[in-house]
Structure 1
Amino acid sequence: MDKRFLLVFSLFCCIDAVTPLKCITCHLHLKLDRCRRGYGVCLAHKSESCMLLKIYKDYTLQLSYMVCQRFCRNLIFTFSNRTYTHYCCKADYCNKE
């Protein structure tokens, strides 16, 4: 009986370990509007996480971009009067705006 329990338990652990991370995709989300291009779900690979990029101009959100991203890292930088904010996370649908 104990061997069966351990076998079933280990199978559930393996199933949980191989369940891919699910991220929202949207290649063009304008201000407070809905997704205009590329809406869906991507399954992240081993070295990927969910990423949300927000682009601001004068502290006003201009557009967002959501995907599965390899080697993602949280980052904020300003270029050409725009602020780019990268947010990376590792939970299902965590990059939802």
Structure 2
Amino acid sequence: MDKHFLLLLALFCCIVAVIPLTCITCHLRTQTDRCRRGFGVCVAKKHETCMILKIFQDKTLQLSYLVCQKFCRDLTYVRNNRTYVHTCCNYDYCNFKI
């Protein structure tokens, strides 16, 4: 009986390891928290995580961009008086909550 339990446990671990990461997509999300273009979901491929890019001007959120992103890394930079904040996460739908 212990062999059967170990076999089921190993099978369960393999199934859990193969479940893909699901992220929200929105190619144009406005200040009002409404997606104007590209709303949906994406399934992350190898080396991808969920990402949200927030663009601020004068500390006010102007728009956001949500996707599955390859080799994503958290990053903040300023260009043309706008602040760009990339945030990455790796659990289902996490880029919608950030």
TM-score in terms of structure 1 length: 0.96
Greater helix share, structure number: 2
Deviations 1:1-59 (A, max 9, x none): 11111111111100000000011100000111410111111110120000000000111
The Cα RMSD (Å) is 0.8
- 2:53 alignment counterpart: 53
- 1:42 alignment counterpart: 42
Larger CA deviation: 80-89 vs 1-10? 1-10
SS of corresponding position for 2:95: coil
**Aligned partner letter, 1:31:** Q
What is the distance in 1 between the residues matched to 2:76 and 2:66? 16
**Aligned partner letter, 2:69:** Q
What is the distance in 2 between the residues matched to 1:28 and 1:8? 44
Structure 1 residues not aligned, in runs of 5+: none
Aligned positions, number: 97
Deviations 1:38-89 (A, max 9, x none): 1111110120000000000111111000000000000000001100000001
Identity of aligned residues (%): 65
What is the distance in 1 between the residues matched to 2:45 and 2:68? 8
TM-score in terms of structure 2 length: 0.95
- After TM superposition, which residue ranges in structure 1, 4 or more long, deviate above 3 angstroms? none
Structure 2 residues not aligned, in runs of 5+: none
